[in-house]
Structure 1
Amino acid sequence: MTDPDTIRVYDTRAAEYAARFQGAPDPAQDAFASALPARARVLDLGCGPGHMAARLADAGHEVLATDASAEMVRLAGRHPGVKAQQATFDDLGTLPPASLDGVWANFSLLHAPRDRFDAHLADIATALRPGGLFHIGMKTGKDSARDALGRSYTYYSAVDLTARLDAQGFEILEQSHGAEAGLAGAVEPWITLLTRKTDG
């Protein structure tokens, strides 16, 4: 994410975002966390205030949490055991190949421009070890738009998203759909997928 207006929203409303979503039950978190090997190396991509990163660190995993928002990184870095740093999706290409056991990207890559999305998926695939886990959450729809707060979103249909994941060598293990009101208040449909990088 490099859109300055989107980053500005997260910088100015980080505390509100953290309070809104802290401690909310999430079956996708349970599925991802339980499928990781012991002492896994995990990237929380677009970590926000670091709730998931903290959970993974508490479970004994080595966690790197990244976000384009400096204020979100500050909040994430307050959790014990979480290494938090400011970075954009374009920095994914600097990760060492086959260095990660898992990547958690929960409603973060929806801020990536469409013309960069496949490249980001490819970088994630490169950084994961064979058999590594990749969770992705996205809002579903079509085209691109800004929400009432000014954040930039790119939408995909479930069919389009699964095809793009398949093209990068991800096997879909679990898939969930729903609709929920986000920070801007609008109820929007979403999809989450737990995938595994294939050996091929």
Structure 2
Amino acid sequence: MTDHQEETAAAYDAVVELYASMFAGRLETQPFARAMVGTFAELVRGTGNPRAADVGCGPGHLTAMLHELGLDAFGVDLSPGMVRHARRAHPALRFEEARMEALPVGDRALGGVLAHYSTIHTPPGELPSLLAELVRVLAPGGLLLVSFFATEGPGPVRFDHKVAPAHSWPVDDFAELLAGAGLDTFARLIHDPASERGFLDAHLLARLPHP
């Protein structure tokens, strides 16, 4: 692992129980994010390949939601503590400790990948290689839903996230990265979270085209 990955894993290990208690039911108060996750699940089911990865799954609450929405979902996280918590909280589901940059998944195996605020800690220069890995595991026609903090340009902005350093992105810039990875972004949802940081919440839904 790189230094920033080790630091991020250690930071999340230190707040597992607090983080899990804060986020377990958070989507119940976030109708926009919940709607996008539901749309993502419906479209993945429509591909005929219900296998989906929740990358950066944390305590596993969204992995469980994807399962409830009819997907064969599993979770992956860098933090050993988060993975242990997720396994305890959702014993019927599969969770693995792994980096998003090296997923334990074969090529073109998945109908969907969910990256719910899990790319925010990746330094901007490393994000293209991360997205390339997410594309590697997607079958043609597969879906990626990525959520992140959005800001007006120019360029990404580093900020002190409560757990580990993070970056917010101009939405058009992030969409260009997805295009560079070979994905077609076909839906965007951007809304004001009433955050004290002043960032917007952004959700981009993209598809890997068929050859």
**Hey, what does 1:179 align to over in structure 2?**
192
Which piece of structure 1 moves more, 185-194 or 47-56? 185-194
- Say yes or no: does 1:163 pair with 2:176: yes
Displacement, 1:127? 1.0
Displacement, 1:186? 4.1
Displacement, 1:20? 1.6
In structure 1, the gaps of 5 or more residues are none
Displacement, 1:181? 6.7
Distance in 1 (CA, whole Å) between partners of 2:145 and 2:113 is 6
1:198 to 181, 184, 209: 209
- Say yes or no: does 1:28 pair with 2:39: no
**Hey, what does 2:7 align to over in structure 1?**
5
Displacement, 1:12? 1.7
**Hey, what does 1:52 align to over in structure 2?**
62
**Hey, what does 1:132 align to over in structure 2?**
142
CA distance 1:130–1:111, change in 2 (3 Å):
same
Distance in 2 (CA, whole Å) between partners of 1:130 and 1:39 is 10
**Hey, what does 1:85 align to over in structure 2?**
96
CA distance 1:13–1:163, change in 2 (3 Å):
same
Displacement, 1:133? 0.8
1:180 alignment partner, SS class: coil
2:59 alignment partner, SS class: coil
Displacement, 1:69? 1.0
1:56 alignment partner, SS class: helix
Distance in 1 (CA, whole Å) between partners of 2:171 and 2:67 is 31
In structure 2, the gaps of 5 or more residues are 29-33
Q: What TM-score, normalized to structure 1?
A: 0.87
Larger relative strand fraction: 1
Partner amino acid for 2:76? T
> Percent identity among equivalent residues?
28
Q: 1:80-105, CA deviations, whole angstroms, 9 ceiling, x for partnerless residues?
A: 4321111112213x531110110000
Partner amino acid for 1:130? P
Which piece of structure 1 moves more, 63-72 or 140-149? 140-149
Distance in 1 (CA, whole Å) between partners of 2:20 and 2:134 is 26
CA RMSD of aligned residues (A): 2.2
Q: What TM-score, normalized to structure 2?
A: 0.83
CA distance 1:152–1:128, change in 2 (3 Å):
same
